[in-house]
């Protein structure tokens, strides 16, 4: 079993030796300033431009994650923690912010492991959280979000 599958199943560690539970329990400062964990909690089948050595899912891992109750629960926990972070921190309510890329990653992750409807629910939650500040988010980011 690969490192990312072990991590999502709750008995593995990321490249820095952290478990998913340890990451979830970190404070908002960690979630804001660390950039090497988001690819582990919201994995994709595409390479990260921000963290080149992060995991990239292969064609065999995707169905495993879709069917694993433990991995799905881990994704749920990560989404709920990220929502708490976004609610607590309004710095991302501006034209450019690294959290916009993270939001796009979550949307892609939900599309990959759940369905488009789950991704859209998260997108609508983000739009509601932004409120009128959504007008300040750059158009290119909003175009990415609209594709889902």
At 106 the pLDDT is 98
At 45 the pLDDT is 97
Q: What is the pLDDT of residues 99-119, one digit of tens each?
A: 999 999 999 999 999 999 999
pLDDT band at 92 (very low <50, low <70, confident <90, very high): very high
Average pLDDT over residues 113-130: 97
Long-range Cβ contacts of 63-70 (<8 Å, 24+ apart)? 64/5, 65/5, 65/8, 65/113, 66/113, 68/5, 68/8, 68/9, 70/8, 70/9, 70/10
Q: Is the pLDDT of residue 52 over 90?
A: no
At 53 the pLDDT is 87
Map out the domains of the chain as residue ranges.
Answer: 3-146
Structure tokens at 139: 């158009």
Please count the other Cβ atoms lying within 10 Å of the Cβ belonging to residue 88: 11
State percent of the chain over pLDDT 90: 95
Long-range Cβ contacts of 128-133 (<8 Å, 24+ apart)? 129/86, 129/87, 130/93, 133/90, 133/93, 133/94
Residue partners of 106: CB distance under 8 A and separation at least 6: 42, 79, 82, 119, 122
Q: Average pLDDT of the chain? A: 96
């Amino acid at each position: 079993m690969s490192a990312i599958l072990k991590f999502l199943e709750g008995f593995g560690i990321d490249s820095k030796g952290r478990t998913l539970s340890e990451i979830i329990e970190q404070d908002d400062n960690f979630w804001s300033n660390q950039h090497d964990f988001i690819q582990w909690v919201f994995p994709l089948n595409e390479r990260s431009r921000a963290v080149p050595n992060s995991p990239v899912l292969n064609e065999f891992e995707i169905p495993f994650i879709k069917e694993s109750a433990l991995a799905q629960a881990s994704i749920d926990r990560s989404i709920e923690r990220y929502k708490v972070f976004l609610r607590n921190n309004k710095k991302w309510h501006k034209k450019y912010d690294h959290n916009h890329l993270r939001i796009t990653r979550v949307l892609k992750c939900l599309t990959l492991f759940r369905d488009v409807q789950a991704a859209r629910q998260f997108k609508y939650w983000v739009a509601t959280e932004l409120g009128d500040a959504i007008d300040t988010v750059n158009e290119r980011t909003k175009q990415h979000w609209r594709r889902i």
